[in-house]
Amino acid sequence: MATETAPAAYDSKIEGNIIFTRLDAAINWMRSNSLWPMPMGLACCAIELMATGASRFDISRFGAEVMRFSPRQSDVMIVAGTVTYKMALAVKRIYDQMPEPKWVIAMGACASSGGMYRSYAVLQGIDHLLPVDVYISGCPPRPEALLEGLMRLQGKIAEENSLIAQKRELLEEIS
């Protein structure tokens, strides 16, 4: 069932200080513009992630500058780097500790597919363990690519039926 969740049109001359919108659209707007990342930096992609957070690229332009090193305060896990089998279950555990709603960005070739490491030591893509929302290509991706990925994720969140999903979960819990 697809539901229209695009924000309602706003005309400041008519509506003044009152904005009419759908609750879903409002929630999605708030969620997508303050994504708090969990920086899961595991390899060189983490350096690009840091560059994205720094002044030249400035991830705060997209509301995602609040890097949380505690999973319990974060919304989106950015898996930046090579996930070795030794680290894999630790990444999963940190993901499990993040509160809903949560999203995952697989940053770079290694996190997406194992990259150049077709080897005994490397997990062949974090999507074997976590549900990934956005894959970013590159080795490592440039900060622009990460920002593009973040914007794609914002676009994805904007189309979610957050309230309906929450309601359904609530009803399932009650019944």
* Residue in 102, 47, 92, 52 with CA at minimum distance from that of residue 72: 102
Query: Considering the rule CB under 8 A, would residue 124 count as an interface residue with other proteins?
Result: yes
Stretch that binds other proteins, among 10-18, 47-55, 57-65, 122-130 (CB under 8 A): 122-130
Stretch that binds other proteins, among 27-35, 72-80, 86-94, 104-112 (CB under 8 A): 86-94
* Residue in 138, 132, 115, 125 with CA at minimum distance from that of residue 76: 132
Query: Considering the rule CB under 8 A, would residue 122 count as an interface residue with other proteins?
Result: yes
- Closest to other proteins by CB, 114 vs 141, is 114
* Structure token pair of residue 31: 């969620």
- Check whether the bond before 101 is cis (ω within 30° of 0): yes
**78 contact partners, CB below 8 Å, separation of at least 6:** 37, 38, 39, 40, 49, 105, 107, 146
The least distance separating other proteins from the CB of residue 31, rounded to whole angstroms, comes to: 33
Sign for the CA dihedral angle at 102, 107, 113, 117 comes to negative
How far is it, in rounded angstroms, from Cα 166 to Cα 74?
19
- Closest to other proteins by CB, 53 vs 114, is 114
The least distance separating other proteins from the CB of residue 175, rounded to whole angstroms, comes to: 33
- Closest to other proteins by CB, 125 vs 149, is 125
Site for other proteins (CB under 8 A): which residue of 13, 118, 173, 175?
118
The Cα-based distances of 41 to 37, 115, 128, 170 in angstroms read 11, 16, 18, 34
Binding mask 88-107 for other proteins (x = CB under 8 A): xx------------------
Contacting positions for other proteins (CB under 8 A): 85-86, 88-89, 114, 117-124
